[in-house]
Amino acid sequence: MVSLLILVPFFAAIFLNAPLKALREKLAFGAALVLFLGQMLLMIFPKAGSWTAHAAVLDNLLRFPLKMDALSTVLLFCIGAVLSAALLLSLRAIPQDDRRLNFISVLLLMQAGMNGVVLVADLFSLYVFLEIVAVSSFILIAFDKHIHAFEAAFKYLVMSVVASALMLSSIAMILLVSGDTSFPGISAALQGSPDSLLIASAVGIFICAAFIKSGLMPFHGWLPDAYSAAPAPVSVLLAGVVTKTVGIYTLLRIVVFVFGFTLPLKNILLIVGALSALAGALAALAQTDFKRMLAYSSISQMGYIILGLGSGTPLGVLGAVFHLFNHAIFKSLLFSNSAAIESRAGIRNIQEMSGLGSRMPWTALTCAVGSLSTAGMPPLAGFWSKLLIIIALWMSGNYAYAVIAILASLLTLAYFLYLQRNVFFGKAKEAFNKIEEAEFVILLPAVVFSAITFVVGVAFPWIWNTLLLRLPGIFGV
């Protein structure tokens, strides 16, 4: 049954491009929305999916092993939620012609690719699905076909090719040592030869490739251009789940379940995480373009996830996974706000805006929720995940990195206060007097993501006491 999460969107993309134009135009949007929302709801109510023994027969027909666990469930929920938001935004951002059908087809292929990344338990199969997502991302970044989109897509392509070459080289080296590409087989082989120079090199090369795909510093050159030049639905998708799935999730899965924590690996993760968290926040503070500020903010927040992972403790990994979930939600929320403002005001320069809060109250409110959650303000969800990461760093003796995490959070609060003041407060400019609130399909994702951020934050003490403390080793540590 798990295999259907890969096969259904893949065959849906093929069917929607069958030579039945009238039929596919009517079905494309509805079918995609059902698949995206269905995946999200299935992760909340897993019993509704009837994961029966009969379904296992289909899974066994595939040539690569599949595995669903707590970490997979978190990512699959985020993928379904953010894909749904991107699809709704496309109703206004993508014209209703063959371009929208093409867009939906690529979204379905991306869903199949990201689900594959999350579910496979084999290193080479993981690489194959990563490439499906990479090709889909390249197409979507350049979807508007203007010069900045082509430039951003080219940068992404170059960096993705480098990462793919490094990843393939690492897999080949690991195969020489282990004779296997399954996660359990590789893990057993690595534990049997912990001091091997070849293994150390393979691990280092793979981690470097994952850093590139994540857009972490100092491999971040492609990310701000890709996030800002892509159409609004694609920006939501890239920031919400794509870089999290192909980069951050891959790091979490491989480090925790395959490579294991070693002192050199933890040091690398801590250094890259701290650099990304602090430098990303400083770079965001210097931006005047709404989407570029959010792009650099994404780099900073992904740095927090890597810091939590680098602590090498169960609490740190739990905090990293929780912040991965939170970041997918509040960053999708903020890019939806950006799309709402650009659709009404027609600009993205923060310094040219003023007083939009009185014209777009729901956008202002949801943007405040997303901004405060990103900055780690209580009682919103972002506060708890950052708190877990900082406590994990402190308890593991990484005091300097805990201080860096706190400093980066203060910088995050500073640039979001700057954004809120310039965009929503003050007297509205004369050019904005006739501006109205964003359309429902643009506003809906922001409202839903705000509600998730608020509810998860307020309910976190209950979640901690009733769920997380009763599930030791929930994320493999």
For the stretch 308-328, pLDDT in tens is 998 888 888 888 989 999 999
pLDDT value of residue 475 = 52
Instruction: State mean pLDDT over 462-471.
Output: 66
Percent of all residues in the chain with a pLDDT value above 90, rounded to a whole number = 20
pLDDT digits (tens, 9 = 90+) for 201-252: 888 898 999 999 888 988 888 888 888 888 888 989 888 888 888 889 988 8
Percent of all residues in the chain with a pLDDT value above 70, rounded to a whole number = 90
Is the dihedral angle over the CA atoms 389, 395, 398, 402 positive or is it negative?
positive
pLDDT value of residue 61 = 56
Name the pTM for this structure: 0.89
For the chain, domain boundaries: 272-477
pLDDT value of residue 403 = 93
More confident residue, 388 or 429: 388
Instruction: State mean pLDDT over 412-426.
Output: 87
